[in-house]
């Protein structure tokens, strides 16, 4: 069986180094908010070309904390509306709700699976205060357009980069990590500083051996609040300035991430190589391949195809020993948890959820495995 994702194989090369780190952290006798976290925060901020990085417990908390941080700064208020793509992974939407804000769903583009900037405008009301752009499946959203809309309407831009570590925009021939905070066209605009949420859940492009997450931003005031909010809202021990939470990236996970971060670009390049082969060699009228402009704005967290009779294709691949996964089978507005939304209609989102199928994709997938997957797909 070619597994959809072989996490054991991904982490195997680090085994000895992981064990050494464990020994070291164990020997340090200091397991939360220590040197490994500081090292990682510095390295990840630098990697993203941002001023600040705040390590947190997971990707969901990263999003919640960003919204809570803006609320503490008085830039958001309970009940404010946040625009979010209707086809995102449910965590993006739940995070908005957890921060006592109101998610407003906007349809994606069928081609890119990312939020359609043109449709954002229609959903802006007096209560709209932020846009949460999700770089779904590893491809950056159209940040230039989104930032422009945000600037015109005085909206905060938050990015869910849980699936897009290392994706860069090539605007003005300058390479910047995750565009919002550092985009050249916006750097002068002091107010539009933004914040980006990452997850280090094991299956992400940069994953640890448990839960982990981080926030990056250039906003000094926001960073200061976030360092405190993740630690019970305290800056000085036992003095609580904010109503914070407990969400910290622990020393052991940070130490593992310190080992893996230097290989992230190579891993992403390997993913793109596989994507290039899938895109040029899969030739089957029944299969719609994903859009990619061939730039580094896509890190192929997932390679997501579409097909009309998805169950038949998935079964056929399974019979041929190829494991696939559906990301995601039920759109958020059709979930039982959101019963008030169940009658809403988002045709593009629904089409995506009915037709998508994720092929095996990871930096450790071999050429032979890719050969086989392509051959089997072309015979379908
Ligand atoms: C994984 C993921 C999250 C949540 O990350 P966790 O670390 O699992 O909490 C949020 N948004 C998206 C788009 C994700 O893929």
In angstroms, what is the span from residue 198 Cα to ligand 1's centroid? 8
In angstroms, what is the span from residue 160 Cα to ligand 1's centroid? 8
Q: pLDDT at residue 369 above 70?
A: yes
Closest-CA residue to 163 (of 327, 347, 351, 278): 327
- The pLDDT score that the predictor gives to residue 186 is 37
In angstroms, what is the span from residue 11 Cα to ligand 1's centroid? 20
213: Cβ below 6 Å to ligand 1? yes
Pair 136, 104: CB distance under 8 Å: no
Give nearest CA residue, ligand 1 atom 2.
162
- The lowest-confidence range among 168-177, 178-187, 253-262, 340-349 is 178-187
Q: Calculate mean pLDDT across residues 126-143.
A: 97
36: Cβ below 6 Å to ligand 1? no
163: Cβ below 6 Å to ligand 1? yes
Residue given tokens 């089997």 in the structure block:
376
256: Cβ below 6 Å to ligand 1? no
- Model confidence band, residue 169 (pLDDT cutoffs 50, 70, 90): confident
- Model confidence band, residue 182 (pLDDT cutoffs 50, 70, 90): very low
- The lowest-confidence range among 190-199, 221-230, 308-317 is 190-199
Pair 205, 299: CB distance under 8 Å: yes
Q: Calculate mean pLDDT across residues 224-242.
A: 95
Pair 197, 160: CB distance under 8 Å: yes
In angstroms, what is the span from residue 10 Cα to ligand 1's centroid? 19
* Pairwise CA distance, residues 95 & 8, whole Å: 30
State what percent of residues in the chain have pLDDT above 70: 94
Pair 107, 350: CB distance under 8 Å: no
372 CB burial (10 A radius; 0-12, 13-18, 19+): middle
> Is cis: bond before 102, omega within 30 of 0?
no
Considering the entire predicted model, what is its pTM? 0.94
* Pairwise CA distance, residues 94 & 102, whole Å: 10
Q: Calculate mean pLDDT across residues 247-255.
A: 98
The CA-CA-CA angle for residues 36, 37, 43, to 5°, reads 90
Q: pLDDT at residue 210 above 70?
A: yes
- The pLDDT score that the predictor gives to residue 193 is 73
Q: Which of the listed residues 63, 89, 208 should we mutate to test ligand 1's pocket, taking the one with most ligand atoms within 8 A of CB? A: 89
Q: Residue ranges of the domains in the chain?
A: 7-260, 263-379
Write down the H helix ranges in the chain: 7-11, 15-28, 35-47, 59-72, 90-98, 117-123, 143-153, 179-182, 220-229, 251-260, 264-281, 310-319, 347-355, 367-378
132: Cβ below 6 Å to ligand 1? no
Pair 146, 157: CB distance under 8 Å: yes
Pair 69, 227: CB distance under 8 Å: no
In angstroms, what is the span from residue 375 Cα to ligand 1's centroid? 32
**Ligand 1 atom with least separation from CA of 134:** 13
162: Cβ below 6 Å to ligand 1? yes
In angstroms, what is the span from residue 90 Cα to ligand 1's centroid? 8
Would you tell me which CATH number, out of the four given (3.30.56.10, 3.40.50.1370, 3.30.930.10, 3.40.640.10), belongs to the domain 7-260? 3.40.640.10
pLDDT in tens, 55-97: 999 999 999 999 999 999 999 999 999 999 999 999 999 999 9
Class of domain 263-379: alpha beta
* Pairwise CA distance, residues 38 & 87, whole Å: 35
Q: pLDDT at residue 170 above 70?
A: no
CA distances from residue 145 to 92, 168, 195, 206, 288 in whole angstroms, order as listed: 20, 16, 17, 27, 26
Average pLDDT along the chain: 94
192-219 burial: b if 16+ Cβ within 10 Å, else e = bbbbbbbbbbebbbbbbbebbbbbbbbb
């Amino acid at each position: 069986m070619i597994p959809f994702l072989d996490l054991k194989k991904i982490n195997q090369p680090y085994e000895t180094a992981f064990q050494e780190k464990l020994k070291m952290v164990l020997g340090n006798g200091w397991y939360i908010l220590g040197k490994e976290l500081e090292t990682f925060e510095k390295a990840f901020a630098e990697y993203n070309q941002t001023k600040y990085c705040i390590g947190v417990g997971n990707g969901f908390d990263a999003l919640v904390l960003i919204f809570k941080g803006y609320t503490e700064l008085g830039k958001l208020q309970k009940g404010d509306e946040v625009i979010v793509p209707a086809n995102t992974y449910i965590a993006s939407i739940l995070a908005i709700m957890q921060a006592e804000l109101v998610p407003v769903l906007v349809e994606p583009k069928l081609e890119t699976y990312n939020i359609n900037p043109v449709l954002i405008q229609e959903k802006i009301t007096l209560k709209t205060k932020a846009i949460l752009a999700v770089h779904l499946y590893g491809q950056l959203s159209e940040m230039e357009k989104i930032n422009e809309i945000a600037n015109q309407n005085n909206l905060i831009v938050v990015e869910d980069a849980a699936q897009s570590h290392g994706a860069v925009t090539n605007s003005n021939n300058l390479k910047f990590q995750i565009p919002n905070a550092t985009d050249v066209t916006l750097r002068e605009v002091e107010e539009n500083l933004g914040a980006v949420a990452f997850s280090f859940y094991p299956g992400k492009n940069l994953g640890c051996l448990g839960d982990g997450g981080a926030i990056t931003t250039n906003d000094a005031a926001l960073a200061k609040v976030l360092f405190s909010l993740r630690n019970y809202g305290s800056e000085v021990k036992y003095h609580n300035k904010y109503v914070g939470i407990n969400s910290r990236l622990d020393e052991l996970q940070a130490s593992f991430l310190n080992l893996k971060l230097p290989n992230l670009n190579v891993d992403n390049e390997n993913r793109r190589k596989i994507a290039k082969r899938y895109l040029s060699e899969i030739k089957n009228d029944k299969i719609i391949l994903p859009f990619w402009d061939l730039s580094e704005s896509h890190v192929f967290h997932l390679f997501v195809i579409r097909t009309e009779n998805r169950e038949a294709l998935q079964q056929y691949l399974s019979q041929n020993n190829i494991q696939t996964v559906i990301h995601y089978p039920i759109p958020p507005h059709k979930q039982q948890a959101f019963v008030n939304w169940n009658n809403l209609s988002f045709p593009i989102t629904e089409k995506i959820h009915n037709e998508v199928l994720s092929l095996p994709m990871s930096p450790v997938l071999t050429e032979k495995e890719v050969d086989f997957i392509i051959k089997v797909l072309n015979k379908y």
